[in-house]
Amino acid sequence: MSNLPLEWHLVTLGDVVRKVENNLENPNESEYERFIKVEHLDADSLKIRRWGLVEEEALPPTFRKVFKAGQILYPTRNPHLRRTAYADFDGICGEKTLTLEPKEGLAEELFPFIFQREDLIQHATSMMIGSTNPHIRWRDLASFQFPLPPLDEQRHIAEILWAVEDAIEGYNICGADIAVTQNVYFRDWFDKNPDADTWLDVTLKDVCTIQNGQVDPTTAPYRNMIHIAADDIESRTGRIIEMKTAAEDGIISGKYYFTENAVLYSKIRPNLEKVALPDFEGVCSADMYPMYPCDNILREFLFYLLLSKDFTKYAVACSVRSAIPKINRNDLLVYRFKLPSLQEQSLFVNNLTTLMASSQQIREHIQKLALLKQKLLQELLADNYANLVQ
């Protein structure tokens, strides 16, 4: 760090950020309307999009800490999950969430982005303590060192980063609008379709079968097939995130064999809405159902049906009867719905697939912008900044 640009300084996080403690005696009777749990926060996003309302939900006993607009909310548990947020309203959070604000010398505009630096995240992860509930102490987080430019340059850097952040938020808003459109389209298709009276009243048992019998994934040919677990499927989109063979995953317990004609449905935690349309044969976790459509239903229509809010609501209601939330085979097959003709199903699938494709394009734009932001964070706040702006 001896080659720092002129007027740059090597600082610790504690030099330029303070921890604020403002706790309430009676949080349920306070002026604050909203509270934030860790699960309300999205990974790698400064924006808070969800919260709880004090008047609608009892606060947990440890929720006494006040946060203010302009502060960073930093959950100390599992910092590697990257759920750091920049508050744009006042509210209440739990005692294990740090409420932080900038000191003199750190521009307010740049302050939030310091916590999205990859090297800070790695530092926090390396300093975690506790095996049951891994967490980081403030003093250990505060020891993180990084180079900091003068205030004018900080504000210039922040202006660039906020431009990227605003673009990401714009795409997020578009994505949320498309998701609403998808849900409304699906609901109206069934509830307001003038031909709905002619549709058959059926159960899933009438339109599909579920794979029976498991295979040994340690033997040929299954050991060389792609293995799909629930964690490999992206919620609500059906995108398969990672594909490894059964041998590469090192699995040994019984799995279901499936073909490219199957719809894969994860029966564990149905609120996560994990459904996939594989275009290959493989083996899947015993916590998934390979479902095969009959001649009266399109494979893609079955896929969208299993992602519908009505089905998810049904599956979640069935799953609460289990210690681990899951829907069993019998409950799944008795789900009842109206079945359109194959021609109407095709029209429905085409329209919804167009919306899903738009959602995928938006996600790709967001991913590219997120990578750009990380690159800018690394380059604009690096010790060779002077060379980057020449």
DSSP characters over 208-243? EEE--S-B-TTSTTGGGSEEE-GGGB-TTT--B---
Amino acid identity, residue 357? A
- What is the Cα gyration radius of the chain? 25
What pTM did the predictor assign? Answer: 0.80
Between CA 166 and CA 265 the distance in angstroms is 36
Q: What is the CATH number of domain 200-339?
A: 3.90.220.20
Amino acid identity, residue 191? D
Two structure tokens written together for 123: 């530092």
Amino acid identity, residue 90? D
Q: Are 302 and 339 in contact (CB under 8 A)?
A: no
Between CA 302 and CA 292 the distance in angstroms is 9
Amino acid identity, residue 321? R
Q: Hey, where are the domains in the chain?
A: 10-148, 200-339
Backbone angles phi, psi at 260, to 5 degrees: -70, -5
Read off the pLDDT of residues 265-304 as tens digits, 9 standing for 90 and up. Answer: 999 999 999 999 999 999 999 999 999 999 999 999 999 9
As to burial, measured by CB atoms within 10 angstroms (0-12 exposed, 13-18 middle, 19+ buried), residue 188 is exposed
Read off the pLDDT of residues 25-84 as tens digits, 9 standing for 90 and up. Answer: 999 999 999 999 999 999 999 999 999 999 998 899 999 999 999 999 999 999 999 999
Provide the CATH topology of domain 10-148. Answer: Adenine-n6-DNA-methyltransferase TaqI; Chain A, domain 2 (3.90.220)
Work out the angle between the directed axes of helices 151-191 and 309-319 (0-180°, nearest 10): 90
- Of the pLDDT bands very low, low, confident and very high (cuts 50, 70, 90), residue 321 is low
Distance, CA of 113 to chain centre: 20
